[in-house]
Amino acid sequence: MAAHLSYGRVNLNVLREAVRRELREFLDKCAGSKAIVWDEYLTGPFGLIAQYSLLKEHEVEKMFTLKGSRLPAADVKNIIFFVRPRLELMDIIAENVLSEDRRGPARDFHILFVPRRSLLCEQRLKDLGVLGSFIHREEYSLDLIPFDGDLLSMESEGAFKECYLESDQTSLYHAAKGLMTLQALYGTIPQIFGKGECARQVANMMIRMKREFTGSQNSVFPVFDNLLLLDRNVDLLTPLATQLTYEGLIDEIYGIQNSYVKLPPEKFAPKKQGDGGKDLPTEAKKLQLNSAEELYAEIRDKNFNAVGSVLSKKAKVISAAFEERHNAKTVGEIKQFVSQLPHMQAARGSLANHTSIAELIKDVTTSEDFFDKLTVEQEFMSGIDTDKVNGYIEDCIAQKHSLIKVLRLVCLQSVCNSGLKQKVLDYYKREILQTYGYEHILTLHNLEKAGLLKPQIGGRNNYPTIRKTCASGWMTVMVKNPTDISYVYSGYAPLSVRLAQLLSRPGWRSIEEVLRILPGPHFEERQPLPTGLQKKRQPGENRVTLIFFLGGVTFAEVAALRFLSQLEDGGTEYVIATTKLMNGATWIESLMEKPV
């Protein structure tokens, strides 16, 4: 069912199974027929670990989304709320429960907090007079959700804001807990590296948690050789730039959520076969994107420029395969051909889908505005004119392009210049407030607090130093047959990934100067292993590094890390974990102050 999770170097199906087991266990606690009331946000992440069939096996008969007033009628014994620990959700639950009590047969109510029970929420339920109505109040620690064979995410959208704006460590605590779970399943990770304030804290929590547990050593043979914890604010630049890999662009343009993307249906209008035929043309086409799909696994991490040629090659291969039928003469040959048909049909469907997606994306990437935006981004990343008011940004504001787009560009300029000159900053601020409304002053403050938009202090621009030392600035690359990670941004090598690369070879000692410029401490910790578990590496065997992005990671960065994993002489394979899969737009959005 989730075979693609086990393709990687580390079998993440083990984690998925463990999480599923726990879900079943909870469901069995509530005997009898059940209805689940979902916090809508959770349905996405849950979809990655369980299908409805699993729930059905455990007598879940109805599913609703959490809404105000009454619950829909359902003839079940148990009503279970699956919710995040949020105060506003508690109010809705209370409304549901109170209106339910007044009519009909008594039900048993239960509540499952994901990922954590919250005393604050339970207090709110108590205030509303319904706490006693719940028989089971439990937590389901769905900390790290396996997305792909090498990718885990906590899908916690507020993590960056909590960590870097509000200094709330709760999501770091969850990250640490998630890491402990991983260690329980995959063995103690002998070496921990980190850079940044949050990384330091997570490492501290892990060490403390380990100390707190009694008993002897973890006797699982370690799968991971080391762990690298990276703060997002060590590299604020990368997510702001437009991703140029295939998957990155899908995410930038249409938004990938929990590995699903919704696409405009026109391009998928009824074709001969495949999944496209059934959908109503008015409804968005929903596709799941992961490495279970052979073609997608091949093209997802490529620069978009290289996608077209792969698709056309595939098309030729498939047509050739279908042509084979003319050569099939004997019964045996025909039988063989027929046995391959399903596979070929699937390949054709997948090719059709991705050709359509590529066309949709091409429409955007060939537009003049996209070109202009990219040009400005690349100028900034090359350090050109970062200290002046930019004409294109001005135009965007004047034409009232989306505020997120404008903020993203202004922040990019600020980061590339280690802060803007006061005059430039004031100008942008005024323009933005006048065009989009004064209340955005709060958003601007949030961005400033997060270090994304700030005045330059001391008139010193550190960005060129970083760019030179880490070769992470803009440079010429081959996007079709890349030799360096910078292909993912068509020339800009993400600093975060470069740090990982330099850590594995030749080591961080070579870039001490840069590490000093970047915020937060860098450190190394060792978790001693008993002699029996120490690994003796075979010559030529790659190390496995778990890299954890605290505050989010983009698909382009993931692509760059996969590229490193596949390098023949790379020596390191990566498994990537993060608090949230994101892009510049969703990131900025999470920092915006919304009207109540």
Q: Which of residues 446-485 bind other proteins (CB under 8 A)?
A: 476-477, 479
Which token pair is 78?
């148990």
CB of 239 within 8 A of CB of 590?
A: no
Which residue from 1, 3, 73, 120 is in contact with other proteins, where contact means CB under 8 A?
120
Q: Which is nearer to other proteins, 393 or 582 (CB)?
A: 393
3-state secondary structure of 523: strand
Of 339 and 366, which has the nearer Cβ to other proteins?
366
Neighbours of 393 (CB within 10 A): 22
| CB nearer other proteins, residue 202 or residue 499 | 202
Quote the strand ranges of 237-334, DSSP E. Answer: 256-257, 260-263, 285-288
Among 3, 220, 334, 341, binds other proteins (CB under 8 A): 220
* Site residues (CB under 8 A) for other proteins, limited to 342-401: 355, 358, 362, 365-366, 368, 370-372, 374-375, 378-379, 382, 384, 394-395, 397-400
Question: What is the spatial order of strands in the sheet that 78-83 belongs to?
Answer: 60-65, 34-38, 78-83, 108-113, 134-139
Other beta carbons within 10 Å of 7: 15
Distances (CA, A) of 60 to 56, 65, 174: 5, 14, 28
Amino acid at 338: V
Distance of CA 556 to the CA centre of its chain: 11
Cβ distance to other proteins smaller for residue 284 or 374: 374
Alpha-carbon gap, residue 486 to 491, rounded angstroms:
5
CB 522 within 8 A of CB 514: no
- Tell the smallest beta-carbon distance from residue 197 to other proteins (Å): 12
Burial pattern 491-525, b for ≥16 Cβ within 10 A else e, equals bbbbbbbbbbbbbbeeebeebeebbeebebebeeb
Determine the interface stretch with other proteins among 54-62, 116-124, 458-466, 556-564 (rule: CB under 8 A).
116-124
Q: Which of residues 269-288 bind other proteins (CB under 8 A)?
A: none
Residue 176 or 447: the one with the smaller Cβ distance to other proteins is 176
Q: Which stretch binds other proteins (CB under 8 A): 65-73, 201-209, 277-285, 505-513?
A: 201-209
Least separation in angstroms between residue 209's CB and other proteins is: 8
Contacts with other proteins in 288-327 (CB under 8 A)? Answer: 304-305, 307-309, 311-312, 315
Number of residues that bind other proteins (CB under 8 A): 115
405-424 residues in contact with other proteins (CB under 8 A) are: none
**129-188: contacts with other proteins (CB under 8 A):** 131-137, 139, 141, 166-170, 172-173, 176-177, 180-181, 183-185, 188
User: Is residue 596 a contact point for other proteins (CB under 8 A)?
Assistant: yes
Identify residues 34-93 at the interface with other proteins (CB under 8 A). Answer: 85, 87
Any idea what DSSP says for residue 133? G
